[in-house]
Structure 1
Amino acid sequence: MSAKEELFAELFGANQLRLFGYVLGLVRNSADAQDILQQTAVTAWLKFGDFDTDVGDGCETAAATQTNFFRWTATIARHETLNFKRYRRRSRVYFDQELMEQLGHTICELTSDSSLDRSNALTNCLNKLPDGDNNLVECRYAHGLGSLQIAELLGRSQSSVCNSLRRIRENLLRCMQKSLSAES
């Protein structure tokens, strides 16, 4: 591996979680954020020759280089996010009515009423969460990050993240119980 490749891998690796958090804040969907982050990595690699690793008077520290790299890649990520959203708007896939009916019928056969009711209740309760709580839930459950990783990503203490997740789970449980008891 060349020195250029090693430097890129080191800088991107050190900033990957932070970049993911930045992109996730822009698109609010972890799968989309992963896709955008991958495209950002490709674009950053292709343009890495444009990144100035010798900014300043030659006394550039590793931390300053990482900060400059994060700013540089965050700019690329912002452009990739805009491209992603533009492409997504143009390429919406629509299914015909017959296929939608077949899918609906199959899904109904595969799921029981009670699990479907619980799933709907959970979806409704998740939609009621404030944005900050929604981000925590998405980081933890959609992306599978641990409390320590989330804490680092958000600049919070691990105990604060754990307490917030516990509170969110309790609120979701109460909301679901209330919703399910109202239906029966």
Structure 2
Amino acid sequence: MKFVKKYKVLISIGVVFFLTVASTQYLKPHYTYRIIDNEQAINKSISKMVDQPIQIKLMKDIDNKRIVLFTLGSEIGESVLTKGSNNKFKLDSTGYGSNEVRYRIINTNKGQYVKFIGRNTDNISKILTIVDGEKYYLSVLEAGYFISYVPLIQKTESNFPSGSVWYDNQDKEIIRINISKDYIL
């Protein structure tokens, strides 16, 4: 009789433990990832974060991330959202400022990417960027706003590319960022 009682107690504890673990794995996405997958809900969430109305210009999915390019008055902003198992999003980061182009390295569930986003006022056609000594080329839409990215061939600890060169459609340099004019590409 004592054996049966101990067995029932152990089974009960096991069932409670299993249900607790299972429910947190099932319920967590429902309270963490709450932004519906539509532009209006994403706009509302970002506007609430920056405490001002924004205007979304572009959105692009990269694996489990959604990159949002927006304007806040005359400033350019970006938000990164992560998609959960419930097909809703959570807001990871938001930033804005006076730079016409923003860039950084992002991590997704499938790897790392270097991305450039912004307003193409300089007629940029392509960007050469360097991450950990490796060169990457990104094509850029020549009018309006753009989101361009390329996967990294090896993992990096860097958050930003070490330098970049922007070119127009005639392959003439527009600007070098953190790369000396003397450095031959």
TM-score band (shorter)?
under 0.3
- With the length of structure 1 as denominator, give the TM-score of the two structures: 0.27
Greater RCO (CA < 8 Å, at least 6 residues apart): 1
Structure with the bigger percentage of helix: 1
- With the length of structure 2 as denominator, give the TM-score of the two structures: 0.27
Of structures 1 and 2, the larger Rg is shown by 2
